[in-house]
Structure 1
């Protein structure tokens, strides 16, 4: 199996993972949903993948849309051939950042449409893609599926409620898919990254204070980087079996469990 499919490939953890997997020799298929102003990011990634000598197929389309899956899955089946798909990475980070109840600046609070969209993009789309890829026979024994979650499932920010709900649903989907794909030898895990400076994080209104807090509490004395997450995916992909499955695995340098401890804040 020589191909990886990355949903959310052009920036942040998705991009770092594409490069790291390409460095191991995997060919890269990817979905990104960018405006013309951000087209340069995808072009730069293509140039990097060319430099690494792997095949690639990056598509600018809405990964949460049924039409996109209907077009991309057969295309990927043709590209991968008998080799199938080695890795699927779900790194979609488009959701609403609106408080549930009205407050200054948000006179209406969260709408049903906003909540439904956030859950569909950031959680349910993992199920839809897995269903379609499995139906196409693209997952063979030893394939790996990774979904990127966050500590927002157990912590809160004023504007993060809908995204937190989506990440919680995503982790639940991971456990169920792990159960159902185990007989096929396919491992499914969620990776809980530490606070990482990415375009999606910078859209959170409270991100500056959140970054400062994480930088103080992480025992490593720095924030998580996209490459840290990519390296975890590479390491787990290298495992031949599917015995590590159904988990939410922290990739945060000990940040979550160190938060609030004086020794972590002051380096003692």
Structure 2
């Protein structure tokens, strides 16, 4: 068998937290297409767990090894159980890619609104930050302790424009994403001596199961599509392509950043673009 080309990802390993849907699933597929073996964690009920099982079969059919686990990625017991398994699967080679794409949090306003008496509780706020932000730190700590993050490894964490924009009922998630970006910066500096890069990927508005749970998402989606210079929303495959591209290099010099993967959506916010007409005139 010929040797893989320089900077090839073939026969490396990836850990995808939140693998069963949205950006996690698209990234697992894109990495597998590059010959990357995939370990994934998802948290699904019986009616949706079947989709994860089919994804695992699909990845294996493409010629890579795939091991997907239905477990709460934010729970300490899950890390205790899976980190030794990851070491076993990778044969001591460690992970080339870690994607943190956990989108489980409370979508409740801080204060009662209108006739709705619901308001965010302390357990809901703490749970949202623990799952969507703090779990990145805990996974990184355990992977480093196990020797599974070697020079050239890349950690990606999914964030959003919610760090600087306000949406109804999105306060807890906004706080979690802001904390996540702070964790990325801190981890990037602490892992720099190891040659490990850590970055946040700020996807544009993307139709995923987590987006569909946001109250009033329909109007938000319409505005975002109209304001994107590309004339469409971001797709999970756009994010997956960015992960593959950034993971190829062994360099750790691009680190500690929040990288927009949104087709220019954020910088063009508030402007309606007739992209097709302008492109034809060009």
Q: TM-score range by the shorter chain?
A: over 0.9
- 3-state SS of the aligned residue for 2:263? coil
* Separation in structure 2 between the aligned mates of residue 192 and residue 87 of structure 1, nearest angstrom: 17
* Separation in structure 2 between the aligned mates of residue 262 and residue 93 of structure 1, nearest angstrom: 29
Which residue of 2 is the match for residue 26 of structure 1? 36
- 3-state SS of the aligned residue for 2:91? helix
Q: Which moved more, 1:175-184 or 1:36-45?
A: 36-45
* Separation in structure 1 between the aligned mates of residue 224 and residue 271 of structure 2, nearest angstrom: 12
Note if 1:165 corresponds to 2:162.
no
* Separation in structure 2 between the aligned mates of residue 221 and residue 135 of structure 1, nearest angstrom: 45
Which residue of 1 is the match for residue 240 of structure 2? 230
- 3-state SS of the aligned residue for 1:256? coil
Cα RMSD (Å): 1.3
Which residue of 1 is the match for residue 91 of structure 2? 81
Which residue of 2 is the match for residue 38 of structure 1? 48
- 3-state SS of the aligned residue for 2:111? coil
Unaligned 5+ segments in structure 2 are: 1-10
Note if 1:6 corresponds to 2:16.
yes
Which residue of 2 is the match for residue 110 of structure 1? 120
Q: Could you tell me whether the CA contact under 8 Å between 1:98 and 1:106 is conserved in 2? A: no
Residue among 139, 145, 166 paired with 1:129: 139
Cα displacement (A) at 1:41: 1.1
Residue among 183, 188, 209 paired with 2:198: 188
Greater percentage in helix = 1
* Separation in structure 1 between the aligned mates of residue 75 and residue 115 of structure 2, nearest angstrom: 30
Larger C-alpha radius of gyration, 1 or 2? 2
Unaligned 5+ segments in structure 1 are: none
Which residue of 2 is the match for residue 218 of structure 1? 228
Which residue of 1 is the match for residue 253 of structure 2? 243
Cα displacement (A) at 1:108: 3.7
Note if 1:63 corresponds to 2:68.
no
* Separation in structure 1 between the aligned mates of residue 106 and residue 276 of structure 2, nearest angstrom: 35
Q: Give TM-score, length-normalised by structure 2.
A: 0.92
Moved over 3 A (4+): 262-268
- 3-state SS of the aligned residue for 1:78? helix
